Structure 1
Amino acid sequence: MTDFLVIGECVADIVRTPGRPDVTHPGGSPANVAYGLGRLGHPTALLTQLGTDRLGELITAHLRSAGVELLTDGRPPAATPSAIVTLDDRGRADYTFDIHWSLAPTALAVTAPHVHFGSLAALLAPGAEATAALVAGLRAGATVSYDPNIRPALLSSPTEVRARVERCVALSDLVKASDEDLQWLYPGRSPEQAAAHWLTLGPALVLVTRGGAGALAVTRDARAEGPATAAEVVDTVGAGDSFMSATLDALAARALLGAAARASLRSLTGATLAAVLRHAGAAAAVTVSRAGANPPDHRELAAALS
């Protein structure tokens, strides 16, 4: 049985560090989440678009190494999306993209109790509409999580993008965003204010990652903050995606995912939120301690937590 269905883009991250040769890593936020879930032992399927080029072969092998099942809309593949990731002297990443998303309406043979989607696949035309329609159709039988993972260089104004993001938020039971995402979408609002606004749109839980300042989790009735787990940072590529996959891992372990668990997901205590943040923060710390979007497997995460 498939535990998770992830919908979204794969991207080849070509990492560029001053004074060093370029290094290519498999990436793309939804693909990273699928890979992270696979590494944590969850049977996971990814609906995505990949070319038959060298970069597509690299990403395919990478995802399959974690047991991720690859699904497509059945159309001939285009070139594999790519991004130039430039790292500064503190390992922080800046992106330049060559990305397209043209998912067509498709019927899936695979079902799962939880669906995750996000990033460019939820925002870029022409495929974003098909993505949203598919998630809306799956929602009756699954809980849904969403991560906007905003990339301003590929998007229009915050005013136009905000409406699309909020449509996705309204489809979701769980939403994660970085403080930078929220600052871009809601200038002048604090992350706490933006998270409170999202809760009014329908989700049970909103998570906000804040880099070195840790993370925040809020529901309508509970709140928790988690400090950042100490780590020697190599780069921050994929840290938020690792946080997302580990969040889903922690919720699944507590039987809090799946359509039948919706009421329970809306009744989380502060203690449970704190435990989830600790689990997810430990995974992110492992990821930033090594190059590329390289999340921990279940043994590495258990060691980090201990």
Structure 2
Amino acid sequence: MILCAGESLIDMVPEGASYRPLPGGAVYNTAIALGRMGADSGYLWPISRDPFGEMLLHPLAEAHVDTSLSPRSDRLTTLAFVTLTGGEARYAFYDEGSAGRMLTADDLPDIPDRVSALFIGGISLVPDPCGAAVEALVARVRDRIPVMIDPNIRPFFIQNEAAYRARLDRLIAMADLVKLSGDDLEWLTPGASHDQAAAAILTRGPRVVFQTGGSAGARAHWSGDILNAKAVRVEVADTIGAGDTFNAGVLAALDQAGVLNRKGLAELTAEHITAALTLGTRAAAITVSRPGANPPWAHELAALPA
């Protein structure tokens, strides 16, 4: 089971003069996408008992995502109000004292042996106590299972930049797979080209750094030559959940190939990584073709032209 640990929230998406509430959150979206693709997926994050919490649980159940490790909470669900500019999404978060934000390391459950990989990322890495809890979780499991991180950096959400940069440095050093967008790379390494920044991050310990670029497709930096996958051309509705879906495609492809484990990652080939890039970009293309974070099901991916 691929366990996704990180935020779930309600995206308040503009609809005329009002907002439409849609389940979302970077890590939550990846868990949903994995489940819809047919991967054995699990989710770990406190889920509120408020009405929005119930709204979050339904898509998880529908995608057959295991939520047995997710505690219920009487605290409120995080809200993210979305502004769309040219199809690009920007967010204002309402998160103080929320169910997820108040997760502590002491609240973490024991991670069962059936968990074969861990995915983390998003705004859950920024504030404490939840950021420290995720870091503690990674430190606890990294010796036995692979870890993938997508920080999905939101500069306006960061109150203590030095502390956040230090946390990312520690987490990236413990991760096997790292996904970064162009905006992420520019924030992490100002003044460097995207390829230079990704190559520098690769030296910190990860086996692969995946670099996404929207319509430019995706690249992978590893011990061999840089690998590329072209973007699938679609009419873009918005970009909400695109990177999260890409992450699921990468994990699902590596899992299908039987290499999402300590031994397999040590023996990765260009073919494995190219397949991961390809599934990630194909899955993301379907997500951006429709409003909100709405990842594809396996049958939709199968029907997408090659």
- Which residue, 129, 142, 147 being the options, matches 2:145? 142
Partner in structure 1 of residue 191 of structure 2:
188
- Kept in 2, the 8 Å contact 1:144–1:172? The answer is yes
Q: Distance in 2 between matches of 1:169 and 1:11?
A: 24
**1:31 pairs with 2:34:** no
Q: Which amino acid aligns with 2:109?
A: A
**1:277 pairs with 2:277:** yes
Q: Structure 1: which 5+ residue stretches go unaligned?
A: none
Partner in structure 1 of residue 93 of structure 2:
97
Q: Distance in 1 between matches of 2:281 and 2:72?
A: 38
Q: Distance in 2 between matches of 1:227 and 1:159?
A: 35
**1:232 pairs with 2:235:** yes
- The answer to which of 71-80 and 164-173 deviates more is 71-80
- Kept in 2, the 8 Å contact 1:38–1:66? The answer is yes
Q: Which amino acid aligns with 1:69?
A: D
- Which residue, 20, 39, 42 being the options, matches 1:45? 42
The structural deviation recorded for 1:274 is 2.9
- Which residue, 2, 5, 25 being the options, matches 2:3? 5
The structural deviation recorded for 1:248 is 0.6
- Which residue, 65, 69, 77 being the options, matches 2:66? 69
Length-normalised TM-score, structure 1: 0.92
Give the fraction of aligned pairs with identical amino acids, expressed as a percent.
38
Length-normalised TM-score, structure 2: 0.92
Does the C-alpha gap of structure 1 residues 109 and 208 become closer, same or farther in structure 2, counting only changes over 3 Å? closer
The structural deviation recorded for 1:57 is 0.8
Number of residues of Structure 1 aligned to a counterpart in Structure 2? 299
Does the C-alpha gap of structure 1 residues 137 and 302 become closer, same or farther in structure 2, counting only changes over 3 Å? same
Task: Give me the CA root mean square deviation.
Answer: 1.7
Q: Distance in 2 between matches of 1:4 and 1:259?
A: 14
Deviations along 1:188-207, whole A, 9 cap, x unmatched?
Answer: 11111111111111110000
**1:60 pairs with 2:60:** no
Q: Distance in 2 between matches of 1:305 and 1:122?
A: 37
Partner in structure 2 of residue 222 of structure 1:
225
- Kept in 1, the 8 Å contact 2:122–2:150? The answer is yes
SS of 2:142's equivalent in the other structure is: helix
The structural deviation recorded for 1:260 is 2.8
Q: Distance in 2 between matches of 1:76 and 1:254?
A: 37
Q: Which amino acid aligns with 2:63?
A: A
Q: Which amino acid aligns with 1:120?
A: I
Q: Which amino acid aligns with 2:9?
A: V
